[in-house]
Amino acid sequence: MHRKLLSLALLALAAHAADSHYKLSEPWAQVPGGKWGAATGVDVDAKDNVYVLNRNEETPIMVFDASGKFLRGWGKGLIKTTHFLKVDREGNVWVTDRGDMQALKFSNDGKLLMTVGKKGVLGDNNSHDAYNGMADIAFAKNGDIFIADGEGPNTRVVRLSKTGKFLQWWGGKGTAPGQFDVPHSIAIDAKGLVYVGDRTNNRIQVFTKKGKFLRQWTNFGTPWGITIHGDRIYVVDGTANNCLFIASLKDGAILEKITGLVNATAVAVDSKGAIYVGEVNGANVKKFVTGSPK
């Protein structure tokens, strides 16, 4: 019975994905133990290896090649509450810990290199070294670190130097341009512009790297996770529409939509255009490819 229900669910999801030119590739990964934990973060490196952050106590960080072969994993006992995962321009792996309110920087083989925030210490919007809403992280070309500190009482974006020195913050709670209500996700484009998924305000806001408000888009439902690849922005809406929007980075116009997801929270795109979506309640990482699934 369970197999039949799973098959029907996969068929339904494949049918939804057919509305775009992407196809579901299922199954794609050789998951240790055969089962994901709730998948909260996903990203790819320059070699198209896939890094997954999931709520699996034994192996919260898992690494796969593009074909789905498991390569390595680490993180047991290091992360209280997994949230987002990002690979920086040097190939280091960053994870955000919403439980201990820290960001952890690892080498790509799991060596802990740096921490941002004080473990278990809460800070308000004005704090220079403590957080209370540690959600997502992004990196500028010069190495500056941008943190969406918004899944909690805090409602801000924090900019740090490459070494973790506090530089500035902007935001504050509200609905006006430049204010936030759950700034949950963050990404930076090739020009250095900062895109913030302002989740409860149902919009994406765009800023300069120093926090000057430029524009906002309100056509993405409830933006949970965002990533930028080339001239496209990819936005997962994990509540209102349970879908992935693919849009033009120029004006935010939606070009494609993949529906039928289950509480999608994170998205990544590799060099060949394959899309990886992390689902929290779905406890899955789904892969979408162009053409026939492999």
pLDDT in tens, 246-280: 999 999 999 999 999 999 999 999 999 999 999 99
Q: Give DSSP secondary structure letters for 141-183.
A: TT--EEEEE-SSS--EEEEE-TT--EEEEEE-BSSSTT-BS-E
Write the CA distances from 218 to 37, 139, 253, integer angstroms.
31, 24, 11
Q: What are phi and psi of 10, to 5 degrees?
A: -65, -40
- Domain extent, residue 256, equals 2-290
Contact between residue 145 and residue 116 where contact means Cβ atoms under 8 Å apart: yes
Q: Which of 175, 174, 180 is nearest to 136 (CA)?
A: 180
- pLDDT recorded at residue 282: 84
With a cut of 50, say whether residue 16 has pLDDT above it.
Answer: no
DSSP reduced 3-state for 139: strand
- pLDDT recorded at residue 17: 42
Residues whose CB falls within 8 Å of the CB of residue 52, separated by 6 or more in sequence, listed in order: 36, 39, 41, 42, 61, 62, 63, 64, 85, 278, 285
- Total structural domains within the chain: 1
Domain of residue 63, CATH code = 2.120.10.30
Measured distance CA(141)–CA(163) in Å, rounded: 14
Question: CB under 8 Å, gap of 24 or more: what pairs does 118-126 form?
Answer: 123/154, 124/153, 124/154, 125/149, 125/154, 125/155, 125/156, 125/169, 125/171, 125/172, 126/169
105 bridge partner residues: 94, 114
pTM, 2 dp: 0.92
- Count of Cβ atoms closer than 10 Å to residue 132 Cβ: 21
Average per-residue pLDDT for the chain: 93
The encoded tokens of residue 250 equal 């120029």
Maximum pairwise Cα distance, the chain? 56
Q: pLDDT digits over 129-188, tens only?
A: 999 999 999 999 999 999 999 999 999 999 999 999 999 999 999 999 999 999 999 999
Contact between residue 76 and residue 106 where contact means Cβ atoms under 8 Å apart: no
With a cut of 50, say whether residue 8 has pLDDT above it.
Answer: no
Which pLDDT band, with edges at 50, 70 and 90, does 121 fall under? Answer: very high
- pLDDT recorded at residue 240: 84
Q: pLDDT digits over 62-84, tens only?
A: 999 999 999 999 999 999 999 99
